[in-house]
Structure 1
Amino acid sequence: MDIQKNLVMAVSQPKETGRKTLRRGRVRRPFRWLRYLGMLGPGLVAASAGNDAGGIYTYSSMGSQFGYSMIWVMVVLTLGMAVVQEMCTRMGAVTGKGLSDLIRENFPLRLAALIMLAFLLANSGVIVSEFIGIAAALNLFHVPAWISAPCAGLLLWLLVVKGSYARVEKVFLALTLVFLAYFVAAFMAHPNVGQVLHGTLVPTVQLNSSYLLMLVTAVGTTISPYMQIYVQSAVVEREVSMREYNHERVDVYSSAIFSNVVASVIIIATAATLFANSGGKGVILADAADAAKSLTPFLGNFATDIFALGLLGASFLAAGVIPLSTCYSITEALGLENGVSKRWREAPVFWGLFTALILISVVIAMLPNLPVVQILLNLYLLNGMLLPIILFSILRLVNDKRLMGRHTNGWFFNILAYGLTITVSLLSIAYLIVQVLGLFGITLL
């Protein structure tokens, strides 16, 4: 009887297992796409933060002043952003340390101090500009700055200070959905598809200082130094190892594409309306909110509202990412405890600095008659000019076999990375030369 029972069980077991396997496969298949959404995280947050108030102003100005002719710049910058952020995420996964940590430990003291100063200069004022963007966006919905700025600051402070890293990241990821508003605005503008393709595929360069200024500003906006600090520190805080690194690579590459497609859509929306109706002369915008208001005669109030909604979400996202990036860089450089998942008593300097940055930014954003245009342009121009220092530092670290082992850059990747760094450096030097000669009345372009 025992032998017969065992035979019956042996025969019936595979059938049961087969049913379970089939049933399990049927449950999993419809939700397989969720795995790919789970890969998104630090890369998408960092890349999308670049489409902030300054970014929206820059991309809107590219379209309103130069039409479709600068879309090709975003194609090149997509590759550049992907290369730089991939190097930083890889360093975070291999070393388990943030970028500022590695700079402090591997560079001479004076050089490390210079690089940290560059970080601080690049981030200084950008945080303020985000709260100015929030106030400007809500002002389009008739909410005054003295209400919008403090409320946004308090909401952001509570979100980050009282939440875990996972919760904060989920909120930041949700905010990236607001960028879909710009696709609607671009569709409503009815752009010339042929001219869009030509501007995307055929590089057009104008030899004048305005074009060069816009080019350097676009680089500083799209590949901002704070993005590299944030993405590497976030990878470390996530405790990502090289075993899970392929997910992070997908995150970085797909996020660079999404972020810069959004930027291109903003260029297209303003090029199809403001530039097209200027008779080719171009239109100079006052600020990011002015871009939204300027669309009203062409696309109506609905387009203005969705443009303002995008500005609000983008500014709020960046208002969280940039202070965190600044706090990471300073505390890492000083060797102090940091991280969103750390409690106040575990990382007092990190949280104290974050609170101070939010508070100061809110107060300044409430001040009337701020020169918003000059603040935004000069800050992102400064970002573009300081970027070579950051890029050369990243390249020095990522090619250090003592740190990275077999995960250093390959020759092809180095060609792309050094090509980007040298190009950005030459652009910055060219702009400096043009500006300095202009002070002596010499017009070079």
Structure 2
Amino acid sequence: MAKQQIDAPGEGQRLLRRSAQRVRRRIERRPRLLIYLAIFGPGVITASAGNDAGGIATFASVGADHGYQLLWVLIPLTFSLGIVQEMCARMGAVTGKGLADLIRERFGVRWTALVMLALLVANGGVTVSEFVGIAAAMELFGIARYISVPIAAIAIWWLIVKGSYQRVERVFLAMSLVFLGYVVAAFLAHPAWTTVARELVHPHFELAPAYLFTFVAVIGTTISPYMQVFIQSSVVEKGVRPEIYRLTRIDVWVGTIFAILIVFFIVISTAATLHVRGEHVDSA
């Protein structure tokens, strides 16, 4: 019995490697376009995760409170997000291990437990904010939060517990298309595009506490720890290896640019409508 317990972790690793090898063989037999479609998803999903209820509220308040003044932040933020995402995706492709596994191997179990505990607490806060966003959104349609939140919780539980990884990924990708509504809203708001272009390339920085708080909030809600854990695990799950990693890099940067463009249009939408009227954003 003791020997079986000792061999169990090694057997699990062997089964994981065999599963990844089968995925790789299936991918290699496909045309290049199908190969990209097979590994497409983690980059777009992970980058779009920053545009959740809390993120939308943050970006909307940026436009409502500061107008177009913080648009310039999106340019360096694009490179920062893309580089961080690609680093994690690259580690997953090269090592075949998730971020938590690499932390454990490099720093030990105690530091890994501390990191995972911090991640659990942060994810708990994010989960609460998501349900707050669901409640606020459904109340716009006259649906009470006491009805919408339990239904949403059950639907999410069913999707995660009963659904496969591929199904969850497809649902997340489909939900990412909802963000295109902000693109339409931005054009319907008829912003001053010359001002938008000027503020986008002309950095404007202040030392006022409100400005600094918003500046940090934009960075924090765009680059979150759980996003890095997810993208590296997804790359490992798909069996991506270094030989085809360039396609994953494309996925990462496509997702990054898509997510930042959505942030761009959210800020424009609220700047052109709420900021000019002196109104503020209290929720997503």
- TM band (smaller chain): 0.7 to 0.9
Residue pair 2:39, 2:238 contacting (<8 A) in 1 also: no
Q: State whether residues 39 and 250 of structure 1, in contact with CA within 8 Å, keep that contact through their aligned partners in structure 2.
A: no
Structure 2 equivalent of residue 138 of structure 1? 138
Where 1:125 maps in the other structure, the secondary structure is helix
Write the letter of the residue equivalent to 1:239. Answer: G
Q: Report how far residue 228 of structure 1 moved.
A: 0.3
Equivalent AA in structure 1 for residue 79 of structure 2: L
Structure-1 separation of matches of 2:196 and 2:34? 33
Cα distance, 1:198 vs structure 2: 1.1
Question: What is aligned with 1:177?
Answer: 177
- Is the Cα–Cα contact under 8 Å of residues 39 and 240 in structure 2 kept in the other structure? no
Tell me how far apart the structure 1 counterparts of residues 36 and 168 of structure 2 sit (CA, whole Å).
20
Assess if the C-alpha contact under 8 Å between 2:191 and 2:268 holds in 1: yes
Distance, in Å, in 2 between the alignment partners of 1:163 and 1:149 is 20
Structure 1 93/134 Cα, relative in aligned 2: closer, same or farther at 3 Å? same
Offset from partner CA, 1:100-146 (integer Å, 9 cap, x none): 11111110444434433432343231111101111111111111111
Which position in structure 2 is the counterpart of 1:156? Answer: 156
Task: Tell me the equivalent position of 1:78.
Answer: 78
Cα distance, 1:97–1:33 mapped onto 2, change above 3 Å: closer
Return the alpha-carbon distance in structure 2 between the equivalents of residues 184 and 201 of structure 1.
Answer: 23
**Alpha-carbon contact 2:40-2:248 (below 8 Å) kept:** yes
1:285 and 2:281 equivalent?
yes
2:261, 2:193 → 1: CA distance? 15
Structure showing greater relative contact order (alpha-carbon pairs closer than 8 Å, 6 or more residues apart):
2
1:4 maps to none
Alignment match, 2:205: 205
The equivalent of 1:391 in structure 2 is none
Contact 1:81 1:256 in 2 (8 A): yes
Give how far 1:153 is off: 1.1
Partner SS, residue 68 of structure 2:
helix
Q: CA deviation at 1:155?
A: 1.1
Cα distance in 2, alignment partners of residues 235 and 33 from structure 1: 18
Instruction: Confirm or deny: 8 A CA contact 1:47 1:256 kept in the other structure.
Output: yes
**Alpha-carbon contact 1:98-1:236 (below 8 Å) kept:** yes
Indicate conservation of the 8 Å contact 1:45/1:176, yes or no. yes
Opposite residue 216 of structure 1, the aligned amino acid is V
- Taking structure 1 as the reference length, the TM-score comes to 0.55
Contact 2:42 2:231 in 1 (8 A): yes
Cα separation, partners in 2 of 1:38 and 1:179, compared to 1, 3 Å: farther
1:96 corresponds in structure 2 to 96
Give yes or no for contact 1:50–1:224 (8 Å, CA) kept in 2: yes
What's 1:411 paired with?
none
Q: Any conservation in 1 of the 2:60–2:266 contact (CA below 8 Å)? A: yes
Q: Does 1:191 align with 2:187?
A: no
Looking at structure 1, the residues matched to 274 and 37 of structure 2 have their Cα atoms a distance apart, in angstroms, of: 36
SS in 2 for 1:69: coil
What are the superposed Cα offsets for residues 41-87 of structure 1, whole Å, 9 maximum, x if unpaired?
11111111110000000000000000001111111111111000000
Q: 1:202 to 1:138 in 2, by over 3 A?
A: same
Instruction: Report the alpha carbon displacement of residue 238 of structure 1 after superposing the two structures with TM.
Output: 1.3
Deviation (angstroms), 1:244: 2.0
Q: Conserved in 2, the CA contact under 8 Å of 1:42 and 1:231?
A: yes
Q: For 2:75 and 2:226, how far apart are their aligned partners in 1?
A: 21
Q: Structure 1, residues 347-397: CA drift from partner, whole Å, max 9, x if none?
A: xxxxxxxxxxxxxxxxxxxxxxxxxxxxxxxxxxxxxxxxxxxxxxxxxxx
RMSD: 1.8
Distance 1:237 1:51 in 2: 24
The structure with the largest alpha-carbon Rg is 1
Q: Report what 1:384 is aligned to.
A: none
Say if 1:59 and 1:205 are closer, same or farther in 2 by CA, change over 3 A.
same
Supply the AA of the counterpart residue of 2:220.
G
State the one-letter code of the partner of 2:282: A
| Aligned counterparts of 2:121 and 2:248: Cα–Cα separation in 1 | 29
**Matched residues in 1 for 2:102 and 2:135: separation?**
37
**TM-score (normalised: structure 2):** 0.85
Alignment of 1:417-436 (within 5 A): none
CA distance in 2, matches of 1:60, 1:133: 13
CA gap 1:220/1:32 in 2 versus in 1, 3 angstroms: same
1:33: how far off?
A: 6.9
**What does residue range 233-252 of structure 1 map to in structure 2 within 5 Å?**
233-252=233-252
- Within 5 Å, give how 1:346-425 maps onto structure 2: none
User: What amino acid is aligned across from residue 190 of structure 2 in structure 1?
Assistant: H
- Taking the aligned partners of 2:131 and 2:147, their CA distance within structure 1 comes to 12
Secondary structure of the residue that 1:68 maps to in structure 2? coil
Amino acid at match of 1:211: Y
Q: Distance in 2 between matches of 1:128 and 1:52?
A: 12
Are 1:120 and 2:120 counterparts? yes
Stretches of structure 1 lacking an aligned partner (at least 5 in a row): 1-30, 289-445
Residues 37/203 of structure 1: CA separation in 2 closer, same or farther (3 Å cut): farther
**Distance (Å, rounded) in 2 between the aligned partners of 1:68 and 1:128:** 30
**Alpha-carbon distance in 2 for matches of 1:93, 1:45:** 17
| C-alpha contact (below 8 Å) 2:63/2:268 kept by paired residues | yes
What is the aligned partner in structure 2 of residue 272 from structure 1?
Answer: 272
